[in-house]
Amino acid sequence: MNIFDLPKKELENYFKTFNDKPFRATQIYEWLYQKKCFSFAEMSNLKKDLIDKLCSIFEIELLNLVTMQKSKDGTIKFLFKLNDGNLIETVLMQHDYGKSICVTTQVGCNMGCAFCASGLNKKIRNLETYEIVSQIMTVESLINEKVTHVVVMGIGEPFDNYENVMRFVRIINDPKGLAIGARHITISTSGLVPRIYDYANEGIQTNLAISLHAPNDEIRSQIMRINRKYSIKEVIKAMDDYIAQTNRRVTIEYILLDKVNDMPACAYELAELLYKKNVYVNLIPYNEVSEMPFKRSTKEAMNQFYDILKKRGTNVTLRREQGHDIDAACGQLRSKNIKK
Ligand code: SAH
Ligand code: SF4
């Protein structure tokens, strides 16, 4: 078993089965996540027989790096190979407030959004918890620096791999581990309504982002298949419930696609839909995908869209894009490598 699979509570239970003290789990956590020591033999406060026992049960293994591409703005894109040969990608972005990492949760994605490169390759499998945790551990080891923020926005639909993603969050949020603050962790969903209700009940202070991308069902169903299952009305209702229960502001992601969802009428409709709600709209310039017909909105259309929302009192930003020169959009690098 990979040691990065276990939340601290579960590791404590292992020590109980060995008749050892649960605080051993804290020691191991500190070695792994804080001191970046990846060999039980080097954990100097553990006895030899315990080390042997740990070695016989657990592996400490990072991910295999295939390529690493650095963009002019400092964004780094990592392509990793999993033990079964599948490829996944992870993106690291530099900000003035720290470094944020965008992690992948599935090999491929079944949601099939019409504009997304990840949806080109159907889901092969969910990532195991340790494979998500290892993305951060491997990146931190490669760059020898600490990641401060985590966005679960890489390949895959995190709420379609709900249990593992929640275990991942518990591991990286643990104060004895990576200690990444809950408020610095954001999970993005395409709108799996039942899981939004579950997430509201987790009792954690992490953030939720919803990929809305359209102000009405007609447009949304054309570009996001999931909308035929859960309509905008149901998504908004789940979101309202989440806000009421957690008192947390929700991020609404909205990719601007030329002449699909970027017309002024869409901006007015979106402002109306979100009027007086505790949300923050993130307008995202589309990263064009060669196999797909969609085009990025013009600068004028983006600015006009932004202005309309702003005038109607919506909290909105136009996302500064990162890594445009290295295909940093969701799934693009992986999809290129699969073709090769
Ligand atoms: N499956 C989840 C999380 C991963 S996608 C979700 O859909 O929310 C993360 C974000 O990247 C989503 O908002 C998605 O719509 C967006 N995205 C996908 N392809 C993109 C592209 N080519 N350009 C810009 N954003 C893209
Ligand atoms: Fe999957 Fe998200 Fe891409 Fe849609 S946008 S196909 S949900 S990864």
Residue 113 near ligand 2, beta carbon < 6 Å? yes
* 123-133 b/e (C-beta count within 10 Å ≥ 16 → b): beebbbbbbbb
Contact partners, residue 71, CB within 8 Å, separation at least 6: 77, 322, 323, 324, 325, 326, 328
In this predicted structure, the answer to whether residue 159 has a pLDDT above a threshold of 60 is yes
Percent of the chain with pLDDT over 70: 94
Closest ligand 1 atom, CA of 155?
A: 4
Q: Any idea which residues carry the catalytic annotation?
A: 89, 330
Residue 227 near ligand 1, beta carbon < 6 Å? no
In this predicted structure, the answer to whether residue 98 has a pLDDT above a threshold of 60 is yes
In this predicted structure, the answer to whether residue 324 has a pLDDT above a threshold of 70 is no
The confidence score (pLDDT) of residue 332 equals: 55
Whose structure tokens read 């990929």? 211
In this predicted structure, the answer to whether residue 90 has a pLDDT above a threshold of 60 is yes
CA–CA separation, 332 and 260 (whole Å): 21
Closest residue by Cα to residue 334 from 138, 108, 160: 108
Residue 118 near ligand 2, beta carbon < 6 Å? yes
- C-beta of residue 129 within 8 angstroms of C-beta of residue 78: no
What region, left, alpha or beta, does residue 179 occupy, with left being phi > 0 and alpha being psi -120 to 50 degrees? left
Between the CA of residue 329 and those of 65, 161, 166, 287, 326, what are the distances in Å?
A: 19, 21, 24, 6, 9
Residue among 124, 161, 190 whose CB has most ligand 2 atoms within 8 A, to mutate: 190
Where does the pLDDT of residue 193 fall: very low under 50, low under 70, confident under 90, or very high at 90 and above? very high
The confidence score (pLDDT) of residue 177 equals: 93
Bridge-based pairing of strands 76-81 and 87-95 is: antiparallel
Least confident residue range of 142-146, 286-290, 309-313:
286-290
Nearest CA to ligand 1 atom 11: 330
CA of 111, nearest ligand number: 2
- Please give the model's pTM, rounded to 2 decimal places: 0.94
Residue 223 near ligand 2, beta carbon < 6 Å? no
Bridge-based pairing of strands 207-211 and 185-189 is: parallel
State whether residue 74 is helix, strand or coil. Answer: coil
**What is the 54 CA–ligand 2 centroid distance (Å)?**
38
Closest ligand 1 atom, CA of 287?
A: 23
**Domains defined along the chain, listed by start:** 3-57 (1.10.150.530), 64-339 (3.20.20.70)
In this predicted structure, the answer to whether residue 37 has a pLDDT above a threshold of 50 is yes
Give the pLDDT mean for 89-100: 94
CA of 253, nearest ligand number: 1
Percent of the chain with pLDDT over 90: 87
Nearest CA to ligand 2 atom 4: 113
Residue 116 near ligand 2, beta carbon < 6 Å? yes
Whose structure tokens read 């102000």? 215
In this predicted structure, the answer to whether residue 44 has a pLDDT above a threshold of 60 is yes
Residue 294 near ligand 1, beta carbon < 6 Å? no
Give the pLDDT mean for 311-321: 88
Q: What amino acid is encoded at 218 in this protein?
A: E
